[in-house]
Amino acid sequence: MSQGNVLAITEQSDNVFRKVTYEALSEGRRIADSMGCGLTAVVLGAGENLAKEIGQYGADRILVADNEALHEYMADAYTNVVADIVSREKPVTIVVGASTQGKDLSARLAARINAPLAMDCVDIRIDNGDLTVTRPMYGGKILADIVFDGKPQILAIRPNSMSITEHAAAGAIEILDVNIGKTDLKFIEKKLDTGKVELTEADVIVAGGRGMGGSDFSVIEELADLLGGAVGASRSSVDEGWRPLEDQVGQTGKVVSPNLYIACGISGAIQHLAGMSSSRVVVAVNKDSEAPIFSKADYGIIGDLFEVVPLIAEEIKKIKN
């Protein structure tokens, strides 16, 4: 009776679920309801206690694969274990968050089980049991609709693109016997800056470009902190060495979809626009009234960012109080 469910692969790091896991579960539930089947979630590398945390997000069953070899994400061990679960559960569709881990795992898994994979889905529609997904291509310059001729379809869901829904019933937890299989990768170390809001998951991004004129991003950092958001950067400010590579938004950096994107001193090169144009609301602050960024912004202020941005922060503080 478990056969033919939707399977959601969750992601945790150091016993904290990634936000996109809740999005994938909620979307998995919605797909399962449309197809008239159940939702089975898989938790890897953590125990029953952590698994309970996702109980309210729509899964009927929560399979727990707890093993020391899965505590850190390892592509080979994870692929072996998930492929094993897939062959037993025979899901119709697999959903996973398109994080770094989700992309890595889903790509290797698709090749292992010979299944079609749609990366970075931003919309999923079901019509008479047939799936159509929408995903960005060309760094976000184009949206493409994709259909499938094979099963199970693997849908990797772009972070910040699907809503999170809670459910009344809690899923039943099942502890699995785990066979890690053949592995070749050896874990050496992990270095994380835990205080930082991840760009692809941020609700608000305040980004700086060439107009920053140097590595002092304090006005931008203060506004981002105030809004609980992350700091982004254009390629030119990364190339100048003003910001680290992981802050780069654009076609050769990160493609982001926050609720609010505030572009400061960014003129709006086509590669940058591709990376941020799926943001819900875009604000541009720039001295140059001709800057292309204004054509992609919902609201624009023509002015000196060093004068305007602190004043925006002041006004937001007034509202918050």
Q: How many CB atoms lie within 10 A of CB 299?
A: 11
Compute the least distance from the CB of residue 224 to other proteins, in Å: 12
Can residue 246 be called a binding residue for other proteins (CB under 8 A)? yes
One character per residue 43-82, x = contact with other proteins (rule: CB under 8 A): -----------------------------xxxxx------
Can residue 283 be called a binding residue for other proteins (CB under 8 A)? yes
C-alpha span between 151 and 235 (Å, rounded): 39
Residue among 62 and 266 whose Cβ is closer to other proteins? 266
Residues 214-233, interacting with other proteins (CB under 8 A): 227
Q: Which of 35, 56, 12 is nearest to 164 (CA)?
A: 56
Compute the least distance from the CB of residue 222 to other proteins, in Å: 14
Q: Please say whether the beta carbons of 204 and 160 come within 8 A.
A: no
Q: Please say whether the beta carbons of 264 and 309 come within 8 A.
A: yes
# residues contacting other proteins (CB under 8 A)? 95
Choice from 16, 147, 169, 172 touching other proteins (CB under 8 A): 147
Can residue 1 be called a binding residue for other proteins (CB under 8 A)? no
Can residue 297 be called a binding residue for other proteins (CB under 8 A)? yes
- In 21-92 the beta strands, taken as DSSP E runs, fall at 39-44, 61-65
Can residue 140 be called a binding residue for other proteins (CB under 8 A)? yes
Compute the least distance from the CB of residue 140 to other proteins, in Å: 7
Compute the least distance from the CB of residue 48 to other proteins, in Å: 25
Residue among 9 and 312 whose Cβ is closer to other proteins? 312
**Residue 123 dihedral angles phi and psi, to the nearest 5°:** -155, 140
Q: Kindly give the pairing relationship between strand 153-157 and strand 93-97.
A: parallel
Can residue 251 be called a binding residue for other proteins (CB under 8 A)? yes
Choice from 108, 176, 213, 240 touching other proteins (CB under 8 A): 108
Can residue 302 be called a binding residue for other proteins (CB under 8 A)? yes
Choice from 103, 126, 167, 213 touching other proteins (CB under 8 A): 103
Residue among 26 and 106 whose Cβ is closer to other proteins? 106
Residue among 119 and 178 whose Cβ is closer to other proteins? 119
Enumerate residues 6+ apart whose C-beta is below 8 A from 1: none
Compute the least distance from the CB of residue 36 to other proteins, in Å: 23
**Cα torsion at 313, 314, 315, 321 (round to 10°)?**
110
Residue 28 DSSP symbol: H
| b/e per residue 113-141 (b: at least 16 CB within 10 A) | bebbbbbbbbebebeeeebebbbbeebbe
C-alpha span between 113 and 132 (Å, rounded): 21
One character per residue 163-202, x = contact with other proteins (rule: CB under 8 A): ---------------------xxxxxxxxxxx-x-x-xx-
Q: Which of 160, 174, 178 is nearest to 74 (CA)?
A: 178
Choice from 5, 12, 99, 236 touching other proteins (CB under 8 A): 99
Q: Which structure tokens are listed for 223?
A: 């506004």
Q: Please say whether the beta carbons of 96 and 104 come within 8 A.
A: no
Q: Pick the piece of the chain touching other proteins (CB under 8 A) from 55-63, 87-95, 163-171, 252-260.
A: 252-260
Q: Pick the piece of the chain touching other proteins (CB under 8 A) from 1-9, 34-42, 161-169, 280-288.
A: 280-288
Element (H, E) at 295: none
Residue among 84 and 246 whose Cβ is closer to other proteins? 246
143 half-sphere exposure, CB direction, 13 A CA radius: 10
